[in-house]
Amino acid sequence: MSTGPGRPRRVRPATVAAVAALALLALTYAVFLPAAWQRVQARGGTPSSATFHGGSCLLGECAVTFSVAGERVTAGLPVGTRAGGHGSGDTVTVRHPPGEPGRAVLADDTGRGSVALLLATPLGATLAASAAWAVSRARNERRARPAQTS
């Protein structure tokens, strides 16, 4: 990047770190808030008996298959699903919002605790980023002050 004739501008490592932290923070909100909302919507939903298909449930890679109105539906479980030791082929109970069987959630995973945990994750990340920014700012202010002589 050029800021004028003969004067290149350096990108500071702190700026790169701040942009990376903000991008990671935005990604955290984009993943965890919809997962929490999906669980809230499924609380009063229709319960169904389903077949569990394994994978990394914390990353949202597991699924369930169940019948709705005589049709087989396969639904991916949301990010942060706690499978509780279920293996592929196990029978589990799921809930889904009426008319939206593709948005199924394990019935045991619709409680307030799992939603609170999903909401606490981005909040904790925000607090950690804010604390890191405050420490960095205080350190830079301390360096910028002239030394006092006695």
Q: How far is CA 138 from CA 12, 44, 112, 145, in A?
A: 17, 48, 38, 11
Residues of the chain with pLDDT under 70: 1-11, 144-150
- Segments in the chain forming alpha helices (H): 13-42, 112-144
Instruction: Set out the domains of the chain in order of their start, with CATH numbers.
Output: 13-118 (2.40.50)
Q: What is the rounded CA–CA span in Å between residue 80 and residue 61?
A: 10
- Segments in 8-67 forming alpha helices (H): 13-42
> According to the model, what pLDDT value does residue 66 have?
92
pLDDT for 108-133, tens place per residue?
888 888 788 888 888 888 888 888 88
